[in-house]
């Protein structure tokens, strides 16, 4: 039933009540978001997060089997040389860098997924990190693998999943407040909610891309601290650019900045970090098995 049966004054009263409820809901959403503030134990950055460290670990471990099944399952490092290379590189990055002193140090795991077509790598909250065979097969040497895994370690250390969940919850609550305030009994509230949800989605995409740039920067730090040439990360961008030139876009590009943008950012970062040239102590490492 709409509001046709109410006199105009009554309708205005209902509208004022809706607006008040909407404002209260919006205020609760904003206060809840900003009250969830923690200092990142590694970076020292103040962050608004939806999960504590233990919750991140538990969520990642719980989600890992399902994520693996969707991409062909996890390959066994004891029998698959490529899976062993992924596991060993991940362990090396953690042991030789500040990641090994983080709250996630005992929870990092690095997996190779059997999917030969999908070009992707991703990190779940708390330290479960995956790379598909489709991406691995396009890499040539250890420094490129270090670039991929270092980037994903950056997501974990910077707590991007917990941040995005907090932003998503804020967006959902604000979208609900918009729906309440805009409801006119004729579907206007539903349309307003759809618009608000779309704006929230675009906001998440924007911030997600910022997270990717931050992880590129942190990934370069991780790989160089472990002794690898940062040009491995740069070469990874060229791999993604080439893969995106065909029909199927790499999954890694769905929420990441374009490779061209990342190439320029990484070039600038390498120049800024090593103005006198990359030290000879940093290596590309050996060729990866089977590529």
Res 110: pLDDT: 98
Structure tokens at 115: 């999917």
Tens-binned pLDDT, residue by residue, of the chain (291 aa): 444 554 554 444 445 566 665 555 556 545 554 556 778 878 878 876 777 889 889 888 988 898 898 889 999 999 999 999 999 999 999 999 999 999 999 999 999 999 999 888 988 889 999 999 999 999 999 999 999 999 999 999 988 877 777 666 545 554 554 555 555 555 455 545 544 444 444 444 443 667 888 899 999 999 999 999 999 999 999 998 888 754 444 444 455 556 778 889 999 999 999 999 999 999 999 999 987
Pairing verdict, β 128-132 and 109-113? parallel
Whole-angstrom Cα distance, residue 206 to residue 198? Answer: 12
Return the closest-CA partner of residue 111 out of 167, 143, 59, 70.
Answer: 70
Res 62: pLDDT: 87
DSSP-based three-state secondary structure for 172: helix
Residue linked to tokens 């704006």: 199
Whole-angstrom Cα distance, residue 242 to residue 138? Answer: 10
Torsion of CA 15, 20, 23, 29, to 10 degrees: -110
Whole-angstrom Cα distance, residue 244 to residue 4? Answer: 55
Q: Report DSSP state, residue 287.
A: B
Whole-angstrom Cα distance, residue 88 to residue 31? Answer: 44
Pairing verdict, β 121-123 and 37-39? unpaired
DSSP-based three-state secondary structure for 47: strand
Helices 188-225 and 160-182: crossing angle in degrees, nearest 10, is 170
DSSP-based three-state secondary structure for 192: helix
Whole-angstrom Cα distance, residue 125 to residue 164? Answer: 11
Sequence-distant (6+) residues with CB within 8 A of 127 are: 57, 60, 104, 107, 108, 109, 156
Residue linked to tokens 């420094």: 143
Residue-range domain boundaries for the chain: 46-163+206-273
Polymer length in residues for the chain: 291
Return the closest-CA partner of residue 26 out of 172, 133, 165.
Answer: 172
Res 256: pLDDT: 54
Q: Report DSSP state, residue 117.
A: S
Sheet containing 121-123: order of strands = 109-113, 128-132, 121-123
Return the closest-CA partner of residue 242 out of 216, 260, 221.
Answer: 260
Whole-angstrom Cα distance, residue 264 to residue 286? Answer: 26
């Amino acid at each position: 039933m709409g509001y046709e049966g109410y006199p105009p004054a009554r309708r205005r009263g209902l509208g004022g009540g809706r607006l008040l409820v909407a404002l209260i809901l919006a205020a609760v959403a904003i206060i809840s978001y900003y009250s969830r503030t923690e200092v990142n134990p590694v970076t020292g950055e103040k962050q608004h997060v939806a999960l504590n460290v233990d919750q991140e670990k538990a969520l990642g471990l719980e989600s890992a089997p399902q994520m693996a099944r969707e991409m062909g399952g996890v390959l066994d490092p004891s029998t698959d040389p490529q899976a062993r290379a992924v596991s060993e590189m991940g362990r090396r990055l953690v042991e030789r860098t500040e990641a090994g002193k983080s709250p996630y140090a005992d929870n990092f795991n690095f997996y190779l997924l059997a999917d030969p077509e999908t070009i992707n790598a991703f990190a779940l909250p708390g330290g479960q990190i995956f790379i598909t065979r489709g991406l691995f097969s396009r890499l040539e040497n250890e420094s490129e693998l270090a670039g991929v895994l270092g980037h994903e370690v950056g997501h974990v250390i910077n707590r991007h999943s917990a941040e995005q969940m907090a932003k998503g919850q804020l967006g959902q609550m604000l979208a609900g407040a918009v729906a309440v305030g805009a409801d006119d009994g004729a579907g206007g509230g539903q349309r307003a909610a759809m618009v608000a949800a779309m704006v929230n989605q675009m906001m998440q995409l924007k911030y997600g891309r910022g997270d990717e740039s931050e992880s590129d920067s942190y990934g370069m730090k991780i790989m160089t601290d472990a002794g690898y040439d940062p040009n491995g990360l740069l070469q990874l961008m060229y791999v993604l650019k080439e893969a995106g030139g065909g029909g199927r876009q790499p999954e890694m590009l769905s929420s990441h900045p374009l490779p061209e943008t990342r190439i320029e950012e990484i070039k600038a970062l390498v120049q800024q970090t090593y103005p006198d040239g990359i030290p000879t102590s940093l290596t590309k490492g050996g060729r990866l098995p089977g590529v």
